[in-house]
């Protein structure tokens, strides 16, 4: 296997796994890796590696000898914990919802490791709508960022409108004056075709891609793209497979926030919204600084749900608040030294079997990809089963706050759905309700924006472009945890 040389990693097992767990993991791995099923390149090698690992780990004497000579476990440097919204599941005749808050943190300190160099492509929208002050501020921010990059960092700059132009290629020798002269020459013209820019950025990152770097595309746009959304999403999937992250910044109110959310989260990144172009510099500096503080290149959460379980939603709360697709494989982006990951999972569990005392909600594992290696951490999401007669226990404070603020975020989502269904009166009432909750939490400025938007919905039966994004990203930011645990159980 290319990166998973450890026998336990090959079977997605903990070194403390029992004989029964080893056999079960082997059966699951073989089903996925058998060449008759897996037609991808390298499937035969993968299958043989799994066979080799099982042959050793299933034999007590061979396993003991292997464990004695095994290198210290990399996963010991990453700690995980799960906080549940309830201590048990109820044995009832109807579906029930349970929330799981997953914490992921590295025990290593950044001082023990040098900053990871970065391999980035900065993809800039230079369509006509970017002319004037926006273009001047974009140029200034890009110039400043290129000055701050280290010698080992690799970067390229791509501009796009109706077509893409590689302004600074990845193999370009570092010459500050020439780079700045090219940035200064930018002009705004033409339409907006995001795929052209993303594709060019993807190819520039791929030219020098290496596991020793954090590989990333940074997209900045202020407009809609038309007709190439599918191509953009396909490219994001390819980027995810190669551990190339994508972050996106939308300026103003004309860009498609749902589309940019989908593209960035597919590749383990996130989208941001700013009202004023002067904030572009802070966005670029913050994004690059965070990339350099990476402990890992990427984290992937793989979830194998039990029968009768539906994953309704997934929200990354840290390091940035981002809704993620509730799929079997979720890209989480890189793990930072100074910031843990927090993931809120909402699960619907159908009526439980009668003959069990503990229910396995999902058999999951994290895949942590570092510089030259990767390892996995098994996760079992399970709860004991209890009778309904017991006194309900409120969720832990941290989880309660996350759930309550998720409810506020969903109020604006539901209002958007109401308008699509032709129910402006229902949407108006939801916004009034949202404003009331925001005021009770001391969010007066956002509450005022929501009230103004409610009036706009009442008069025009639609959201205003500005109001929609201000409320969406405003309620999303509220979900950031008020306190970050420094240690995990």
Predicted local confidence at residue 66, as pLDDT: 81
Q: Which residue has the higher pLDDT, 117 or 68?
A: 117
Q: CA 213 to CA 233: how far, in whole Å? A: 24
18 secondary structure, DSSP code: -
Residue 193: its pLDDT value, please?
94
Could you tell me the CATH superfamily of domain 7-69? DnaJ domain (1.10.287.110)
Full-model pTM: 0.80
Q: Is the pLDDT of residue 388 over 80?
A: no
Q: Has residue 338 got a pLDDT over 90?
A: no
Spell out the residues 6+ positions from residue 172 whose beta carbon is closer than 8 angstroms to its own. 156, 179
Take residue 215 and report the two structure tokens written for it: 């590989």
Q: Is the pLDDT of residue 42 over 60?
A: no
The owner of tokens 């061979």 is: 62
Instruction: Indicate where the chain has its CATH 3.40.50.410 domain(s).
Output: 118-292
Q: For residue 173, is pLDDT > 80?
A: no
Tokens for 365?
């594992």
Q: pLDDT digit string (tens) for 114-154?
A: 667 889 999 999 999 999 999 999 999 999 888 888 888 89
Distance CA 166, CA 311 (A): 41
Assigned CATH class of 118-292: alpha beta
Calculate mean pLDDT across residues 349-367: 90
Residue 2 has pLDDT above 50, yes or no: no
Taken in order 345, 346, 350, 353, the sign of the CA dihedral is positive
Q: Which pLDDT does position 257 carry in this prediction? A: 92
> What per-residue confidence (pLDDT) applies to 39?
57
**Model confidence over 227-267: pLDDT tens digits?**
999 999 999 999 998 889 999 999 988 899 999 999 999 99
Domain(s) of CATH 1.10.287.110: residues in the chain: 7-69
- Comparison of pLDDT for 419 and 477, the residue scoring more: 419
HSE-CB at 149 with a 13 A cutoff on CA atoms is 26
CATH T-level assignment (fold) for domain 77-106+298-386: Immunoglobulin-like (2.60.40)
Q: Higher model confidence: residue 387 or residue 140?
A: 140
Residue 195 CB-half CA count within 13 A? 11
| Ramachandran region, residue 343 (left: φ > 0; alpha: ψ -120 to 50; beta: rest) | beta
Q: In this structure, what token pair is assigned to residue 487?
A: 């240690």
Q: Give the mean model confidence (pLDDT) for residues 8-16.
A: 73
Name the segment(s) of the chain with CATH classification 2.60.40.3670.
77-106+298-386
In percent, the amount of the chain with pLDDT more than 90 equals 53
User: What digits encode the pLDDT tens for the residues 262-310?
Assistant: 999 999 998 999 888 889 999 999 888 888 888 888 899 999 999 999 9
Question: Is residue 36 very low, low, confident or very high in pLDDT (cuts 50, 70, 90)?
Answer: low
71 or 374, which is more confident: 374
CB 201 within 8 A of CB 158: yes
Lowest mean pLDDT among 69-73, 154-158, 200-204, 338-342: 69-73
Distance of CA 176 to the CA centre of its chain: 33
User: How far is Cα 97 from Cα 309, in angstroms, rounded to an integer?
Assistant: 10
Check: CB of residue 465 under 8 Å from CB of residue 431: no
Over the chain, what is the mean pLDDT? 87
The set of residues, in sequence order, having a beta carbon less than 8 Å from that of 424 and lying 6+ positions away, is: 418, 457, 458, 461, 462
């Amino acid at each position: 296997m290319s990166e998973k040389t450890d026998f336990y990693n090959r079977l997605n097992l903990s070194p403390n796994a029992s004989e029964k767990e080893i056999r079960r993991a082997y059966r699951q791995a073989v089903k996925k890796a058998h060449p008759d099923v897996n037609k991808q390149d390298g499937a035969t090698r993968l299958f043989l590696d799994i066979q080799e690992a099982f042959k050793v780990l299933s034999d007590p004497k061979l396993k003991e000898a292997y464990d004695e000579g095994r290198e210290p476990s990399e996963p010991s440097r990453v700690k995980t914990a799960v906080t549940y919204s309830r201590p048990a599941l109820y044995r009832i005749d109807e579906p029930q919802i349970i929330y799981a808050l997953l914490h992921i943190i590295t025990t290593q300190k950044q001082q023990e490791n040098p900053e990871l160099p970065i391999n980035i492509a900065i993809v800039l929208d230079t369509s006509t709508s970017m002319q004037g002050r926006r273009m001047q501020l974009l140029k200034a921010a890009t110039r400043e960022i290129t000055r701050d990059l280290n010698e080992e960092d690799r970067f390229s700059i791509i501009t796009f409108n109706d077509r893409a132009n590689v302004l600074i290629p990845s193999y370009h020798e570092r010459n500050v004056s020439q780079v700045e002269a090219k940035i200064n020459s930018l002009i705004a013209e033409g339409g907006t075709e995001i795929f052209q820019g993303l594709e060019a950025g993807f190819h520039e990152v791929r030219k020098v891609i290496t596991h020793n770097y954090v590989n990333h595309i940074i997209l900045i746009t202020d407009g809609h793209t038309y007709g190439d959304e599918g191509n953009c999403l396909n490219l994001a999937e390819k980027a995810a497979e190669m551990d190339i992250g994508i972050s996106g910044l939308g300026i103003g109110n004309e860009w498609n926030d749902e589309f940019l959310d989908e593209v960035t989260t597919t590749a383990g990144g996130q989208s941001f919204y700013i009202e004023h172009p002067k904030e572009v510099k802070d966005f670029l500096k913050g994004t690059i600084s965070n990339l350099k503080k990476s402990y890992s290149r990427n984290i992937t959460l793989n979830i194998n749900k039990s029968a009768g379980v539906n994953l309704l939603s997934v929200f990354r709360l840290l390091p940035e608040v981002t809704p993620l697709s509730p799929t079997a494989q979720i890209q989480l982006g890189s793990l930072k030294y100074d910031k843990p990951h927090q993931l809120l999972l909402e699960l619907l569990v159908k009526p439980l079997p009668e003959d069990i005392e503990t229910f396995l909600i999902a058999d999951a594992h994290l895949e942590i990809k570092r510089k030259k290696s990767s390892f996995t951490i098994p996760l079992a999401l399970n709860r004991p089963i209890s009778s309904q007669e017991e006194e309900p226990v409120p969720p832990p404070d941290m989880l309660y706050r996350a759930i309550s603020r998720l409810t506020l975020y969903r109020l604006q989502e539901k209002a958007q759905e109401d308008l699509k269904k032709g129910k402006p009166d229902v949407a108006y009432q939801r916004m009034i309700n949202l404003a009331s909750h925001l005021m009770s939490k001391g969010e007066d400025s956002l509450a005022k924006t929501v009230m103004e938007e409610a009036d706009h919905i009442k008069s025009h039966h639609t959201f205003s472009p500005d109001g929609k994004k201000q409320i969406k990203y405003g309620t999303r930011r509220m979900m950031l945890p008020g306190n970050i645990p420094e240690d995990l159980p």
